[in-house]
Amino acid sequence: MGGLGSSRSEVAAGTAERAKTGLLVVGSFVALLFVVELINFLTLRSLNTIFGLRPRSADGVLDILTFPLLHANIGHLTSNALPLIIFGFLVFLSGVRVFVITLSLSWLGSGAAVWFFGGGGITVGASGLVFGLFAFLLVRGFLNRNWWQILLSAILFMAYGSILLGVLPIVAGFISWQAHLGGALGGVLAALLLKRPAR
C-alpha cells in the first residue's frame, strides 16, 4: 500500500511540475507576442511589411516562420492570446514532445496553406496556431479512445466550437480562412502521428 501511495504522489507531483512548466512556456510565448506587437506599433507596422506572409512569393517561404508572431493590431493579438494560453497549456500537459510537435505542425500547416492558397496582400497572426492546438485537443481523445480526453474535447467544443466557422471561406473577407484551415489540419496530423499504439 505504501508503494502505491508513493507512486500516486509521484505522479501528482510530476503533473503539477508539468503544469507549472506549461504555464511558464505558453505564458512566455504569449508575452513574446506582446513584445513584438509593441515593437511593431512603434515602428508603424513595418514588421508586417517585412515579415508578414506573402502568398506564392519565393522570399515569402521564409515568412512562414515569422508571420504568426505578428498581428494587425492589439485587438487582433488579444483575441488570440487567451485561447493560445488555454489550448497551449492543455496540450503541454501531455508533454513537451507532444506540445512541440503539435505547435510545429500547426505553424507549418497554417503557413503552407496561406502560401499556396492565400489571396492578395500580407497575412499575419497566430490564429492558425490556435486552430491547430484546438483541433488536436478535439480529435486526440477519439484516436486514443481515452474517455477523459473525449470529455475534455466535448467541453472545449461547447465553449469554443463556434470558432471552427473560421475555416470557411465565406465567413469574412478580412479573416484568413486558409491559415485557420491549414493550422487545424496540422493539429489533426499531429494527433494522428502521436496516436497511442493499440494495446
CATH of residue 108: 1.20.1540.10
Integer-rounded Cα Rg, in Å, for the chain is 18
Q: Is residue 199 part of a domain?
A: no
Give the DSSP letter string of 135-159: HHHHHHHHHHT-HHHHHHHHHHHHH
Q: Which long-range contacts (CB under 8 A, 24 or more apart) does 163-168 make?
A: 163/83, 163/130, 163/131, 163/134, 164/131, 164/134, 166/127, 166/131, 167/131
Grid look-up 493539429 returns 187
pLDDT tens, the chain, 199 aa long:
555 555 677 767 778 899 999 999 999 999 999 999 999 999 999 999 999 999 998 888 999 999 999 999 999 999 999 999 999 999 999 999 999 999 999 999 999 999 999 887 899 999 999 999 999 999 999 999 999 999 999 999 999 999 988 888 866 566 889 999 999 999 999 999 999 876 5
Cβ–Cβ contacts within 10 Å for residue 124, how many? 26
Residue-wise pLDDT for 61-87, tens only, equals 999 999 999 999 999 999 999 999 999
Q: Residue 171: what pLDDT?
A: 62
| Structural domain total, the chain | 1
Q: Is residue 120 part of a domain?
A: yes
Based on the residue annotation, tell me whether 180 is a catalytic residue of this protein.
Answer: yes
Based on the residue annotation, tell me whether 106 is a catalytic residue of this protein.
Answer: no
Q: Residue 188: what pLDDT?
A: 98
Q: Is residue 198 part of a domain?
A: no
Options 106, 110, 127, 153, the catalytic residue: 127
Q: Residue 9: what pLDDT?
A: 75
Q: Which domain holds residue 65?
A: 2-193
CA distances, 32 to each of 47, 100, 105, 171 (Å): 14, 17, 20, 29
Q: Residue 174: what pLDDT?
A: 66
Q: Residue 168: what pLDDT?
A: 83
